[in-house]
Amino acid sequence: MNKKYVYAFTEGDGRDKRLLGGKGANLCEMTQIGLNVPPGFVITTEACLEYLEKKTIPDGILDEVRDHIGRLEEKTGKRFGGEDNPLLVSVRSGSAMSMPGMMDTILNLGLNRKTLRGLIRQTANERFGYDAFRRFIQLFGKIALGVSDALFDEAFEDVKRAAGVKADIALSAEHLKEISERFLKIVQDATGRPFPEDTFEQLEIAIKAVFGSWMGKRAVDYRREFHITPDMANGTAVNVVTMVFGNMGNDCATGVGFTRNPATGENEMFGEYLVNAQGEDVVAGIRTPKPVHEMKQEMPELYSQLVDLRDKLEGHYREVQDYEYTIEKSVLYCLQTRNGKMNATAMVRTSVEMYDEGLIGKAQALLRVNPSHLEQLLHPCLDPSHMEKPIAQGLPASPGAASGRCVFDADQAEIQGRAGEKVILVREETKPEDIHGFFAAQGVLTSRGGKTSHAAVVARGMGKACVAGAEGIRVDSRARLARVGEVTLREGDVITIDGSTGNVYLGEIPTIAPKFSDELKTLLSWADEAARLKVLANADTPESAAVAMEHGAMGIGLCRTERMFNASERLPLVVEMILAHDTEERQAALDKLLPIQREDFKQLLKIVAPRPVTIRLLDPPMHEFLPSENQLLDEIESLKEYRLAVKGRSTALSALNAPYAANDLSEDLVNSVIAKKEQMLRKVRELHEVNPMLGHRGVRLGITYPEIYEMQIRAILEATAQCLKEGVPVNPEIMVPQVITAQELKHVKASVDKIRREIETEFGLELAFKFGSMVETVRACTRAQDLARIAEFFSFGTNDLTQATFSFSREDAENKFLPLYTEYGILQDNPFEVLDIKGVGALMQMTVEWGRKTNPQLEVGICGEQGGHPTSIRFCHSIGLDYVSCSPHRVPIARLAAAHAQLLENR
Amino acid sequence: MNKKYVYAFTEGDGRDKRLLGGKGANLCEMTQIGLNVPPGFVITTEACLEYLEKKTIPDGILDEVRDHIGRLEEKTGKRFGGEDNPLLVSVRSGSAMSMPGMMDTILNLGLNRKTLRGLIRQTANERFGYDAFRRFIQLFGKIALGVSDALFDEAFEDVKRAAGVKADIALSAEHLKEISERFLKIVQDATGRPFPEDTFEQLEIAIKAVFGSWMGKRAVDYRREFHITPDMANGTAVNVVTMVFGNMGNDCATGVGFTRNPATGENEMFGEYLVNAQGEDVVAGIRTPKPVHEMKQEMPELYSQLVDLRDKLEGHYREVQDYEYTIEKSVLYCLQTRNGKMNATAMVRTSVEMYDEGLIGKAQALLRVNPSHLEQLLHPCLDPSHMEKPIAQGLPASPGAASGRCVFDADQAEIQGRAGEKVILVREETKPEDIHGFFAAQGVLTSRGGKTSHAAVVARGMGKACVAGAEGIRVDSRARLARVGEVTLREGDVITIDGSTGNVYLGEIPTIAPKFSDELKTLLSWADEAARLKVLANADTPESAAVAMEHGAMGIGLCRTERMFNASERLPLVVEMILAHDTEERQAALDKLLPIQREDFKQLLKIVAPRPVTIRLLDPPMHEFLPSENQLLDEIESLKEYRLAVKGRSTALSALNAPYAANDLSEDLVNSVIAKKEQMLRKVRELHEVNPMLGHRGVRLGITYPEIYEMQIRAILEATAQCLKEGVPVNPEIMVPQVITAQELKHVKASVDKIRREIETEFGLELAFKFGSMVETVRACTRAQDLARIAEFFSFGTNDLTQATFSFSREDAENKFLPLYTEYGILQDNPFEVLDIKGVGALMQMTVEWGRKTNPQLEVGICGEQGGHPTSIRFCHSIGLDYVSCSPHRVPIARLAAAHAQLLENR
């Protein structure tokens, strides 16, 4: 068999990365689409494998190489080893998988004392010549001959020191010549042989070094680390490319460019260049490159060649390209091109414009934008040019950046917020009664709690920045200050928090505001056309529902009614309900809550109409609405001290027989407050639970205190009836949380049916709404067939379901062992952020299958936090879910991810 | 089609309960096996259905009835409606399903003024005659004619009042005659017709009444309540039986008997009889019946007939029978027989003896004993004759009864226990540091906590009685007393607790000690032969392991190493380990624990050898070994007060310039104790978890603090090596708790392999042991295929798995909503007591299937508490588990249940 081991760039198949390596295939492709690539050839990966097996390069291969060098000489008019017009080449490795930094490139191969003279003569630049020579000796010595790099560096520094020179650039041609000589000696001493003068010998040694590097320790480790198996990449190719020089005179230049502006996406020439310079000069930063549009004046002919190049690149790759070029004696060479990295704004704009230009289709326009990158467009972010160091770090609990004055309680936040101040609420942790502080603040910073702490969840719901669990900060609310190491933050001090990274900074750092551009709207409308999965939002308030609608949500997939309970004017009523001694007292409190809840629902339903609003009946355990035991104990103690003081004063006054024997401080009032607090304390203790996550909550509350669910059901259905009367076509869905058996659903359904009949009679109309179940306990999964007989829809609550599947309490896990679990690779991801497909996902898939067995019309969605995560969305699509519901600010991301899921399935 | 509607007892098929009803079929069977049953016949359920459809009894049926009455006359020589020797009959209903108390029996049908005279003449007892008559009129009036019972009762009381008589028995024949007359008038007034004199008319009316009762409200409600569907029972039969009288003279008698002694199981005549009496006389308690062996003297001929009867009954039914008989004029009639209800002792003994006698096979001997009933034989129980009322009730947390003096802390329990007192430890709740109190006490009573509270779990493990969560009791440990309503229990007061019912009594109530008889041993050895499932025990101490072995455990399926940590002399070392500031300090504490744990394991392994001991690595979160936050705060406060007092005193003393300026109370010492407690408090706060059940525990500890697991693994393997050196063939198995992914197992397995190699080298031997995984998280179930590649065995921890599946925290659920859930029928059983087959069971089945796919040799067992429950055991058998492991005291129950599972499968 006469195998071919060497391909000229004009021959190789640009798609055969396995044979030619990624870089080699790319050079072939570039050449064949008509770009002026410096001529060269690729020695295949098969040659590498044969070398590794036989420990020598078969003669046939070397013959082919010689043949191709001959072709290069022919094409360039230069000669390999020739003095007059010497051919120099670069030699580099390149396997099918990119393994960055594995092996340096050998430049200027083909230089020796003889060809060096030719080079100097050609460029009339002795310094350039010796500089090229000393670089070649060092690279070749190190890479191909294995000489220690340190020896070269020492000699180099020696000469610099002796010359009294600081910067390399200050070295003269003489110095560089001396360095070259010393380098040659280093090689001879280290290898016991003189530096090879024969250029073919140089080439053969270099090729062997590249081949051998494939089994070197660094490469083997790298492949193991990144799980690169032989079927993905086997052996490395060798790329031999003619050297071109941008520094041979003023008709030479070097530059880099993007086919479009990577910051804005604008369709314009973009890039920089330097006349009479090498690429490394740009990197060294000694000369400032010029913007590309200046070339139009300076080198108009070349500029128009560059415009051609750009058109060819986009026309062929149909993607924005990041390219490098060199102009040698007025000839433009394209050295490299790859897909351009851009920010989200640019990605979105180029997608829409490239579609409009007919360059790409809608599918490609959607697929080239990474959904997660849209995050950048939806929250303010820190100006990336800032140089501040954070003073503390916590968990990135709710994305976005915000600056403001520190305040240490919610009331202060409200007062200052109303006064127009920007404030950051800083607390050890937050509680439901702090909710008005959230509304007033720019962002929230806590020193305790994880990504599902109250602060985190509420902030995400509102789309406000939040850094949680910044344990380095010690908050002292009473003293109205916080300490971070040496720094003390006092009320009024300005800080900046970055909820996307968890960083906390002193002072104000400029932020960049989010943009919801027309291009983004266009792109997302295409996403909606492409996707099968619907995207709904989790929203509890009219405000967040409005944001969700703006962001294109197709309805509300989860409205948590307890958030409504937490609003500061309602909490007292809720507490009254909880403290009730009997059903009658409880009913009285509920009667007061009913009109408020009804009004909540009316507002929400109208904003979202005619799209659906899924309302979850009360879920959290009752004690969550009460202060903590410790807080109450503190309060009672303070009150008792106060009472003692009052008593002491009045005793003192009466001893004085003072006529003004003060009743300005009423002991009775204090007593009654103490009594109230003590009652609350008893209740808190009665309601105490060992594991509240697994406690008396959800439908269990609905069954033990049916009057609570009845009030909520009535509020929902009365709101619906009133809206319908007003002609607004609202669509509520009632959802029951924490279900474990169909019996519970039957129980609640009976209330729903009874109340529905009453309201239909009262209003003289028919109510249409859906009744469904959360699936957030494992038992609900195993009983899906039964539940689906009663429920019209399922909604996976993957936060709780993940906790139950792993037996991980999220708050405890994220603070204690989860970081180590991901560090050790025991878990790939935090399952509370990325849906655990192997465990939770397996249960979900089973649930969907079993549920649809008894109810083929069953609608299934997900309303856990993972519902907004692209890989989770792709999984949800794959198991046949109907919708995902996520926080309003993630809706655009989810819409795009839903489209990706469908498009990738079609492939 | 000429359908037959009436069957004589000599004709009917004893197996056809559907046609003849249960009672009718039974009477036919008894007759046909040669028992002298009073002659009679059954009118079929089909006749009933036809009557209900046509609202009238078809003539054909009535003709058949007449024919059968004729046959009765022939057989008895009596005449229906005849004066000389009148035939009287009883009429009763009887459907295929027993519906107790649905309808009374009509006795003495066939009486009228004329036949009454004959009866009186025959018996020469006018009082007897009128008594029979008035009873007949009332029963017939009420049942067949629908006359209000109250009318009869009023008239009866009138006559008694007028006669100045208190007891019915004091009424004379004249009084009863008057009553009969008034009853006849009541019937006439109520129905508008005279009481039917015609006996056939009486019979027809009675039959219609029985038929009609099938669709009466009472019967319909009953069938709905107990889910009796038409395919189970449709229509009622009518049983017409000749009346026989045991009160016609001294050659008459009535009696009841068991074929064997139902209290002891002894194979002897057992029962009581009364000469010249009716069955109801025994019930009325006016005359004391004689033990049956007296009949041997009094009526030798009849006694030998009775012995024959007994032999026939057992020979036919092959089960102990509970039978009733009447002797009329020296003729023995058997009226009824059914399987005898016996206590557990008797059931076990009769099983073994009936097998020895060849009456039954081993399978039947096993199956007739209900495994749960063995409970009676394994714990002391209250003398059932006691009449005390409980003063409080809690949860039946650990079975058995115990009396003793109240003590309110573990130290007192130990002191008094050592002094030979019987004590009951009474606490609000118990903690690990109370463990020495458990050893010393007879039983434990707590006012808080559920069936998995510390008290309950530890008591069950030790086989001590425990009543937990008796919320009516308010314990004040400081004051050393407890209040229950009006009662105050002080230290030293004697109480009795019944851990099988949850009752608490004042004073001592006699108990019956448990017996582990030879018969039980024999029966259980048969069970082991029959069963496929092995039965292991959960045991943590040498003592409980010894009990387990005595009870026939085939190994230890769960040894919880944390129990060993809790022993009072070790707890300080454990605390030292927890408070360690770094790995080095922790290692130092662990080094002290190592020899202790090794000794523990050696003892345990030797006791159980050569059977396996499955040792679970540390499971509970660390904070469980520390005091609670509140306790520490209290202690610190007390210490600070004490310090203040000390200071005050020394200041006072120095002010007095006293020469003895006391250093008897060292402030430094107090300070150092305070510092230690404060350190502990910080640690407690640091370790605090929101949901400890789902927290930092099990293998998560093993991964974050690898040195703890390494110490335990080393202790196990060193103990093994030492035992092997001593020639004891021990068999440890190492089990990892709370696993969610195979990665965790790999992590621990690496430690095991490393330590194994070290010890094998050191001891110069090969260690053989198994390595396995608890399956107690849902994710472990979903990843069974993966886990089984590393684990040699799985052990279901169904306590935790149930909590995770339901998202129920057991402690919270049992105290808060679970009682209502079972009351409402939302759940059939408490899933923590009876394995939830539909949810948890579904996961288990999946796990076994998936696990054996990758590892067909995988051994699978269960070590949750449900592992000792018979229905759970049957399920475990059905899904192919290899073993169940339960508390030592439930081992016998489990062995029998395992046999049942196999035998019932074979059927």
Comparing alpha-carbon positions, the chain A residue that sits nearest to B783 is: A839
Helix, strand, coil percent values for chain B (each to nearest 5): 50, 15, 30
* CB contact at 8 A, A835 and A841: yes
Q: In whole angstroms, what is the distance from residue A526 CA to residue A519 CA?
A: 11
Which residues of A are annotated as catalytic? 454, 863
What is the Cα gyration radius of chain A? Answer: 36
Q: What's the token pair of residue B117? A: 């005279």
pLDDT of residue B175: 94
Q: In whole angstroms, what is the distance from residue A534 CA to residue A524 CA?
A: 13
Q: Which residues of A touch B843 (CB under 8 A)?
A: 778, 782
Q: At how many degrees (to 10) do helices A583-608 and A571-579 cross? A: 150
Cis upstream peptide for A289 (omega within 30°): no
Comparing alpha-carbon positions, the chain B residue that sits nearest to A820 is: B704
pLDDT per residue over B358-367, tens digit each? Answer: 999 999 999 9
pLDDT grade for A692, boundaries at 50, 70 and 90 = confident
pLDDT of residue B648: 66
Please enumerate in sequence order all residues whose Cβ is within 8 A of that of A206, keeping only pairs 6 or more positions apart, or say none: A91, A106, A109, A140, A143, A144, A238
Sheet architecture: strand order including A106-109? A6-8, A40-43, A236-242, A89-95, A106-109
Number of Cβ atoms within 10 Å of the Cβ of B609: 16
Sheet architecture: strand order including B40-43? B6-8, B40-43, B236-242, B89-95, B106-109
Q: In whole angstroms, what is the distance from residue B738 CA to residue A817 CA?
A: 13
pLDDT per residue over B639-653, tens digit each? Answer: 888 787 767 666 655
Please answer yes or no on whether A809 and B738 come within 8 Å at the CB atom: no
Mean pLDDT (whole number) for A419-435: 87
Neighbour-count burial of A166, counting CB atoms closer than 10 A to its CB (0-12 exposed, 13-18 middle, 19+ buried): exposed
Q: Chains A and B: how many Cβ contacts under 8 Å?
A: 174
Please answer yes or no on whether A809 and B776 come within 8 Å at the CB atom: no
Comparing alpha-carbon positions, the chain A residue that sits nearest to B811 is: A690
B814 Cβ under 8 Å from any chain A Cβ = no
pLDDT of residue A651: 62
Please answer yes or no on whether B779 and A811 come within 8 Å at the CB atom: no
Given a cut of 90, is residue A429 above it in pLDDT?
A: no
pLDDT grade for A638, boundaries at 50, 70 and 90 = confident
pLDDT of residue A862: 97
Touching B: A residues 681-710, CB under 8 Å = 689-696, 700, 703-704
pLDDT of residue A658: 46
Which residues of B are annotated as catalytic? 454, 863
Touching A: B residues 331-370, CB under 8 Å = none
Mean pLDDT (whole number) for A507-513: 87
B844-878 CB burial, b ≥16 within 10 A, e <16: bbbbbebbbeebeebbbbbbbbbbbbbbbbbbbbe
Comparing alpha-carbon positions, the chain B residue that sits nearest to A803 is: B694
Which member of A696, A783, A838 has the closest CB to residue B816? A696
Touching B: A residues 831-850, CB under 8 Å = 836, 838-840, 842-843
- Max Cα separation, chain A? 124
Given a cut of 50, is residue A168 above it in pLDDT?
A: yes
Please answer yes or no on whether A813 and B695 come within 8 Å at the CB atom: yes
DSSP for A46-74?
Answer: HHHHHHHHHSS--HHHHHHHHHHHHHHHH
Please answer yes or no on whether A689 and B809 come within 8 Å at the CB atom: yes
pLDDT of residue B611: 97
The ipTM of this complex is 0.78
B631 Cβ under 8 Å from any chain A Cβ = no
Distance (Å) of CA B443 to CA A305, A886, B424, B514? 97, 54, 5, 16
B6-23 CB burial, b ≥16 within 10 A, e <16: bbbbeebebebbbbbbbb
A314 Cβ under 8 Å from any chain B Cβ = no
Distance (Å) of CA B300 to CA A10, A165, A618, A671, B278? 125, 137, 78, 88, 20
Which member of A694, A738, A813 has the closest CB to residue B809? A694
Please answer yes or no on whether A812 and B695 come within 8 Å at the CB atom: yes
* CB contact at 8 A, A734 and A769: yes
Residue of A109, A3, A92, A110 whose CA lies nearest to A46:
A3
Given a cut of 90, is residue A659 above it in pLDDT?
A: no
* CB contact at 8 A, A242 and A88: yes
Q: What's the token pair of residue B347? A: 């059931």
Given a cut of 60, is residue A454 above it in pLDDT?
A: yes
pLDDT of residue A365: 97
Which member of B704, B803, B842 has the closest CB to residue A817? B704
Please enumerate in sequence order all residues whose Cβ is within 8 A of that of B47, keeping only pairs 6 or more positions apart, or say none: B5, B6, B57, B61, B211, B237, B238
Q: What's the token pair of residue A413? A: 């936040």
DSSP for B152-195?
Answer: HHHHHHHHHHHHT--SGGG--HHHHHHHHHHHHHHHHHHHSSPP
Identify the weakest region by mean pLDDT among A20-29, A276-285, A769-778.
Answer: A276-285
Please answer yes or no on whether A807 and B808 come within 8 Å at the CB atom: no
d(CA B694, nearest CA chain A) in Å = 5
B764 Cβ under 8 Å from any chain A Cβ = no
Comparing alpha-carbon positions, the chain A residue that sits nearest to B816 is: A696
**Mean pLDDT for all residues in chain B:** 90
pLDDT of residue A375: 82
Number of Cβ atoms within 10 Å of the Cβ of B766: 9
Please enumerate in sequence order all residues whose Cβ is within 8 A of that of B765, keeping only pairs 6 or more positions apart, or say none: B721, B724, B725
Q: In whole angstroms, what is the distance from residue A233 CA to residue A99 CA?
A: 10
B228-237 CB burial, b ≥16 within 10 A, e <16: beeeebbbbb
Distance (Å) of CA A512 to CA A99, A287, A403, A408? 35, 31, 12, 26
pLDDT grade for A418, boundaries at 50, 70 and 90 = confident
Identify the weakest region by mean pLDDT among B309-313, B737-741, B830-834.
Answer: B830-834
Mutate to test the interface with B, among A738, A801, A812, A836 (most CBs of B within 10 A): A812
Q: What percent of chain A has pLDDT over 90?
A: 64
**Mean pLDDT for all residues in chain A:** 90
Q: Give the pairing of strands B731-736 and A106-109.
A: unpaired
Tell me phi and psi for residue B10, to 5 degrees: -75, -10
Given a cut of 50, is residue A580 above it in pLDDT?
A: yes
Given a cut of 90, is residue B845 above it in pLDDT?
A: yes
pLDDT of residue A662: 44
Q: Give the pairing of strands B270-275 and B253-258.
A: antiparallel
Please answer yes or no on whether B826 and A738 come within 8 Å at the CB atom: no
Q: What is the SS3 assignment for B848? A: helix
Q: What percent of chain A has pLDDT over 70?
A: 96
pLDDT of residue B649: 63
Q: Which residues of B touch A619 (CB under 8 A)?
A: none
More confident residue, B529 or A385: B529
pLDDT grade for B657, boundaries at 50, 70 and 90 = low
Mutate to test the interface with A, among B429, B453, B629, B694 (most CBs of A within 10 A): B694
Please answer yes or no on whether A839 and B807 come within 8 Å at the CB atom: no
Number of Cβ atoms within 10 Å of the Cβ of A570: 17
Comparing alpha-carbon positions, the chain B residue that sits nearest to A687 is: B816
pLDDT of residue A825: 86
pLDDT per residue over B295-329, tens digit each? Answer: 999 999 999 999 999 999 999 999 999 999 999 98
pLDDT of residue A654: 58
d(CA B825, nearest CA chain A) in Å = 8
Please answer yes or no on whether A809 and B694 come within 8 Å at the CB atom: yes
Touching B: A residues 730-759, CB under 8 Å = 738, 740-741, 743-744, 747
d(CA A741, nearest CA chain B) in Å = 8
Q: In whole angstroms, what is the distance from residue A695 CA to residue B693 CA?
A: 11
Q: What is the SS3 assignment for B793? A: strand
* CB contact at 8 A, B282 and B256: yes
Please enumerate in sequence order all residues whose Cβ is within 8 A of that of B820, keeping only pairs 6 or more positions apart, or say none: A703, A704
Q: What percent of chain B has pLDDT over 70?
A: 96
Which member of B689, B692, B817 has the closest CB to residue A696? B817
d(CA A263, nearest CA chain B) in Å = 43
Q: What's the token pair of residue A700? A: 């269990």
pLDDT of residue A116: 95
Comparing alpha-carbon positions, the chain B residue that sits nearest to A843 is: B782
pLDDT of residue A50: 93
Mean pLDDT (whole number) for A21-48: 95
pLDDT of residue A661: 42
Alpha helices (H) along A531-570: 542-550, 561-566
Most confident listed range (A674-683, A768-777, B274-283): A768-777
Given a cut of 80, is residue A660 above it in pLDDT?
A: no
B854 Cβ under 8 Å from any chain A Cβ = no
pLDDT of residue A649: 63
pLDDT per residue over B155-165, tens digit each? Answer: 999 999 999 88
Q: In whole angstroms, what is the distance from residue B709 CA to residue B617 CA?
A: 7
pLDDT of residue B457: 74
Amino acid at A588: A
pLDDT grade for B860, boundaries at 50, 70 and 90 = very high
Please answer yes or no on whether A805 and B777 come within 8 Å at the CB atom: yes
pLDDT per residue over A753-800, tens digit each? Answer: 999 999 999 999 999 999 999 999 999 999 999 999 999 999 999 999
Mean pLDDT (whole number) for B507-533: 91
Mutate to test the interface with A, among B693, B807, B832, B850 (most CBs of A within 10 A): B807
d(CA A842, nearest CA chain B) in Å = 7
The pTM for the full model equals 0.79
Q: What is the SS3 assignment for A248? A: coil
Q: Which residues of A touch B804 (CB under 8 A)?
A: 778, 804-805, 807
Neighbour-count burial of A503, counting CB atoms closer than 10 A to its CB (0-12 exposed, 13-18 middle, 19+ buried): buried
pLDDT per residue over A358-369, tens digit each? Answer: 999 999 999 999
The DSSP element (H or E) to which B807 belongs, if any, is: none
d(CA A690, nearest CA chain B) in Å = 7
Touching B: A residues 765-784, CB under 8 Å = 776-779, 782-783
Q: Which residues of A touch B689 (CB under 8 A)?
A: 809, 812, 816
* CB contact at 8 A, A267 and A353: yes
* CB contact at 8 A, B255 and B271: yes
Identify the weakest region by mean pLDDT among A491-500, A536-545, B569-578, B741-750.
Answer: B569-578
* CB contact at 8 A, B741 and B619: no
Which member of B741, B776, B808 has the closest CB to residue A826? B741
Position of tokens 């998936």? B850
Q: In whole angstroms, what is the distance from residue B397 CA to residue B408 CA?
A: 19
Tell me phi and psi for residue A497, to 5 degrees: -120, 145
